[in-house]
């Protein structure tokens, strides 16, 4: 039986207990949300050596880091290093998006290092294999795709991004309305290329039941990808995107019936004023399923700083109800991220998550804020570092330019507002 | 006559024409907003060698960079260097907050380098002088404060932060409700120390008419400071803050009557869910006056990254109607910023401003987004760099890890969604 089926029976599993304790909520409440698809525990039943993690309604906002080789650059050790950096910086999950090198070996290695839920995009490996063996990757068959999916599940992958909503209907929507950037999702573009080549619909859409059977067997979570996510703020919330979202909501219901956990992936490039509407629509059309967003990036014009555009959009989205933030690094749109980019990306997303947790009234977030402020008031620097999202950077920063007065910082020195108040109260 | 008085007479000044043209709006509309206090042109009449800049309703969101020596660190050349860095990064205005060294000389030097509107906080210099000459800075007299204000105005300072709303009434509010961080504004803390020492109300509150006379003479803009701005998310929107804001709205009306332009300063540390309410309240209580916010920082727990917490809050605030963002650097809460911090801070605030401009429907922001996306679609890298907020960083980043395929980037390589689509459309 799967987590959903057990939750439906009112069975409080060990996994539910662990997650409920971590989140500070009642196990029964969490089980109810799992049963009705509003929360998931991303845990493949053969992935036994990690702590269960919950994602969804009423839970702390989570952060994912994407890693992996490209066909231009496949230094496996470097990806392992990045994995460690991402985990240390606070990533809750890792997605291995490798496309270059010995993919199964890389995945195993990443999983041996990252003791957190792992996600993949199996179509990348299917395409990479086809690129190596055929004249066009489009030669791959539906069986080739499902074979990779099964291998990933056997290997313990906890959640799979599958672009099941990329179908002929949504494609027609994009083609007849027009877009500036068309498709920017890699999985979406590869799927559409296959569909055009074969003049057939997407095998992950037409073969959704086969996919459900596999996911069911391993109790893996399907992360229904948004192949039509906007890649330009001008394309946000358009016909193709919403048509695909409607399909994802239909598939989500089928998955729930089958006892398979589902998340829904979301945009992308979205102006600030459309973020809340995107979350609201996802929650309504997909029946409260956890929402996993990439960014969103609230402007297109900041290459080199998309961790910041993504933190703005991620904070807004999570405050509005998104549950899971896929990080964006400063290298986005420019190159494969390096370890330092991975770190910056995770931390920017953590900031967005923490800010949203606070705005959503999460009691743990609130008390952490207050503890930090009490340390600030007391000029207790060690206390501040301990409570910081990134203690190391905070400590190193202050030590770079020490103040002549040990208590305060070199920003204000004698003019320190806290110090001035302390003195003025002493005198009166 | 001042800009307000001229605008009231329907006189379209050269300054109004320049600003209207830069903003792409009608000069008559801008003049109306200046007349009713919803927009300002921050230009001291003796500061003749800069381009006029408008701040307020319907105008592009502007960004200020704070600079200046502290009493611990007064390397003037370094502050000049930071000024240049801030201007190159796109700061619209500079505030010289120096407290250490030869303050008038530093100010003159910064003004000779930065051909933009300049702001100061005159009480810092008054306090610095008193620290040098008396046993306590509280020995300074109201005349000492007004003397510095007049010197700054004579020197061409365009806008002055004056904490006129820090009065006994607001102080009593803070004391009887209680706060975690009390006062974190330097000007606020210094003023309160003076008030406690003398058991008198704030001379800039009781002597507001004298201040108006000076500002009128130079047509300088008063930036009414928020001495009670919250320094902890837990303190946001409390009694002291709102009591001060009520006073600022009263003072704003008096200033308008006198023909003096006014901006209102705002928080500070504010959880995301309170940002919009803060803007709404400021706009209502202060009759649509331009709102100049510091951050807001949407969480307390990210020291080392407050440019990001400030970009999230700044984007939210500006989208809700704030007009002017004071940058926050990664060094905030830790040390005096270095040149690299200044650069990061300005760019993070610019990102917030641009994202908000887009969300507010600014036509120029919209067309810049679309131009960028068209370059992305065409894999036109030079075009992307030219449109980027920071072309240099974008170019340098991509060149660090080139792709084997010149067109695409090393992130996706052969899996580039744009490339895959181009190929698939060629074949069909």
> Could you identify the residue written with the tokens 């910082």?
A409
Count, residues in chain A: 428
C-alpha–C-alpha distance, residues A191 and A204, integer Å: 9
Q: Does A279 touch chain B (CB under 8 A)?
A: no
CA distances from A142 to A195, A307, B416 (A): 11, 36, 22
List CB contacts of B25: < 8 A, sequence separation 6 or more: B58, B59
Tell which A residues from 351 to 370 touch B, by Cβ distance under 8 Å.
351-352, 354-356, 358-360, 366, 368-370
What would the pLDDT profile of B375-423 be if each residue is shown by its tens digit? 999 999 999 999 999 999 999 999 988 887 878 888 888 899 999 988 8
Q: Give me the pLDDT at residue B428, please.
A: 56
pTM of the predicted protein model: 0.97
A64-81 average pLDDT score: 91
Q: Give me the pLDDT at residue A406, please.
A: 78
pLDDT higher than threshold 80 for residue A131: yes
- Is residue B266 a contact partner of residue B308, using CB atoms and an 8 Å limit? no
- Is residue B39 a contact partner of residue B55, using CB atoms and an 8 Å limit? yes
Residue burial B243-273, b: 16+ Cβ < 10 Å; e: rest: bbbebbbebbeebbebbbbbbbbbbbbbbbb
CA angle A392, A396, A402 (to 5 degrees): 145
- Is residue A229 a contact partner of residue A265, using CB atoms and an 8 Å limit? yes
Tell which B residues from 161 to 180 touch A, by Cβ distance under 8 Å.
180
pLDDT higher than threshold 60 for residue A225: yes
Q: Does B124 touch chain A (CB under 8 A)?
A: yes
Q: Does B134 touch chain A (CB under 8 A)?
A: no
Tell me the average pLDDT of chain B: 96
- Residue, of A154 and B408, whose pLDDT is higher: A154
What would the pLDDT profile of B180-193 be if each residue is shown by its tens digit? 999 999 999 999 99
- Is residue A239 a contact partner of residue A174, using CB atoms and an 8 Å limit? yes
Q: Give me the pLDDT at residue B24, please.
A: 96
CATH 3.20.20.540 fits B61-358, yes or no: yes
Q: Does B404 touch chain A (CB under 8 A)?
A: yes
pLDDT higher than threshold 80 for residue A428: no
- Is residue A262 a contact partner of residue A222, using CB atoms and an 8 Å limit? yes
Q: Give me the pLDDT at residue A84, please.
A: 98
Other Cβ atoms less than 10 A from the Cβ of A140: the count is 24
Q: Do B70 and A366 touch (CB under 8 A)?
A: no
Nearest to A421 among B189, B298, B402 (CB): B189
Residues of A in contact with B304 (CB under 8 A): 388, 390, 393-394, 397
C-alpha–C-alpha distance, residues A416 and B122, integer Å: 16
Query: pLDDT category, A424, cuts 50, 70, 90?
Result: confident
Q: Which of A240, A373, A382, A398 to mutate to test the interface with B (most CBs of B within 10 A)?
A: A373
What would the pLDDT profile of A2-38 be if each residue is shown by its tens digit? 999 999 999 999 999 999 999 999 999 999 999 999 9
Q: Does B182 touch chain A (CB under 8 A)?
A: yes
Bridge partners for B265 per DSSP: B292
Q: Does B277 touch chain A (CB under 8 A)?
A: no
pLDDT higher than threshold 90 for residue B309: yes
Other Cβ atoms less than 10 A from the Cβ of A363: the count is 9
Residues of A in contact with B398 (CB under 8 A): 334-335
Tokens read off for B262: 């006014």
Compute the nearest-CA separation of B140 from chain A (Å). Answer: 15
Tell which B residues from 48 to 87 touch A, by Cβ distance under 8 Å.
70-73
pLDDT higher than threshold 60 for residue A386: yes
Say how far residue B269 (Cα) sits from the centre of its chain: 15
pLDDT higher than threshold 70 for residue B9: yes
What would the pLDDT profile of A233-259 be if each residue is shown by its tens digit? 999 999 999 999 999 999 999 999 999
Q: Give me the pLDDT at residue B51, please.
A: 97
Residues of A in contact with B335 (CB under 8 A): 397-398, 400-403, 409-411
A69-93 average pLDDT score: 93
Query: pLDDT category, B426, cuts 50, 70, 90?
Result: confident
Q: Give me the pLDDT at residue A74, please.
A: 76
Compute the nearest-CA separation of A12 from chain B (Å). Answer: 34
What would the pLDDT profile of B102-125 be if each residue is shown by its tens digit? 999 999 999 999 999 999 999 999
- Is residue A64 a contact partner of residue A42, using CB atoms and an 8 Å limit? no
Q: Which regions of chain A carry the CATH code 3.20.20.540?
A: 61-358
- Is residue A65 a contact partner of residue A342, using CB atoms and an 8 Å limit? yes
pLDDT higher than threshold 70 for residue B344: yes
Q: Which of A63, A411, A428 to mutate to test the interface with B (most CBs of B within 10 A)?
A: A411
Query: pLDDT category, A402, cuts 50, 70, 90?
Result: confident
Residues of A in contact with B180 (CB under 8 A): 370, 373-374, 377
Q: Give me the pLDDT at residue A426, please.
A: 81
B32-55 average pLDDT score: 97
C-alpha–C-alpha distance, residues B383 and B380, integer Å: 5
CA distances from A212 to A119, A224, B184, B322 (A): 16, 12, 56, 49
pLDDT higher than threshold 80 for residue B74: no
Residues of B in contact with A411 (CB under 8 A): 70, 331-337
A359-383 average pLDDT score: 97
């Amino acid at each position: 039986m799967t987590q959903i089926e057990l939750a439906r029976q009112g069975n409080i599993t060990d996994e539910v207990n662990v997650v409920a304790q971590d989140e500070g909520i009642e196990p029964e409440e969490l089980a109810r949300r799992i049963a009705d698809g509003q929360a998931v525990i991303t845990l493949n039943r053969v992935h036994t050596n990690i702590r269960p993690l919950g994602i969804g309604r009423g839970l702390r906002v989570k952060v994912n880091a994407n890693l992996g080789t490209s066909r231009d650059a496949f230094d496996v050790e470097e990806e392992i290093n990045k994995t460690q950096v991402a985990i240390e910086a606070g990533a809750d999950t890792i997605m291995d998006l490798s496309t270059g090198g010995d993919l199964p070996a890389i995945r195993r290695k990443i999983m041996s290092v990252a003791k957190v839920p792992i996600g993949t995009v199996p179509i990348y490996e299917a395409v990479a294999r086809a690129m190596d063996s055929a004249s066009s990757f489009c030669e791959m068959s539906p069986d080739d795709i499902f074979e990779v999916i099964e291998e990933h599940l056997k290997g313990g992958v906890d959640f799979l991004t599958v672009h099941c909503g990329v179908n002929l209907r949504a494609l027609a929507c994009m083609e007849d309305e027009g877009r500036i950037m068309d498709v920017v999702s890699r999985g979406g573009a590869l799927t559409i290329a296959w569909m055009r080549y074969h003049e057939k619909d997407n095998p992950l859409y037409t073969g959704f039941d086969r996919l459900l059977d596999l996911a069911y067997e391993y109790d893996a979570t399907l992360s229904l990808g948004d192949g039509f996510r906007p890649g330009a703020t001008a394309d946000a919330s358009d016909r193709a995107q919403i048509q695909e979202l409607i399909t994802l909501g239909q598939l989500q219901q089928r998955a729930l019936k089958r006892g398979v956990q589902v998340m829904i992936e979301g945009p992308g490039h979205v102006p600030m004023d459309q973020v809340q509407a995107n979350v609201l629509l996802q929650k309504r059309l997909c029946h409260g399923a956890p929402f996993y967003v990439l960014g969103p990036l609230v402007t297109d014009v900041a290459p080199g700083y998309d961790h910041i555009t993504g933190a703005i959009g991620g904070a807004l989205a999570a405050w509005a109800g998104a549950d899971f933030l896929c990080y964006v690094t400063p290298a986005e749109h420019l190159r494969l991220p390096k370890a330092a980019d991975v770190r910056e990306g995770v931390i920017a997303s953590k900031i967005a998550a923490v800010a949203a947790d606070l705005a959503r009234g999460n009691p743990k977030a609130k008390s952490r804020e207050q503890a930090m402020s009490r340390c600030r008031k007391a000029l207790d620097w060690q206390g501040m570092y301990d409570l910081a999202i990134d203690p190391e950077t905070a400590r190193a920063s202050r030590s770079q330019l020490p103040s002549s007065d040990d208590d305060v910082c070199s920003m204000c020195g004698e003019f320190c507002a806290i110090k001035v108040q302390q003195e003025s109260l002493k005198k009166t």
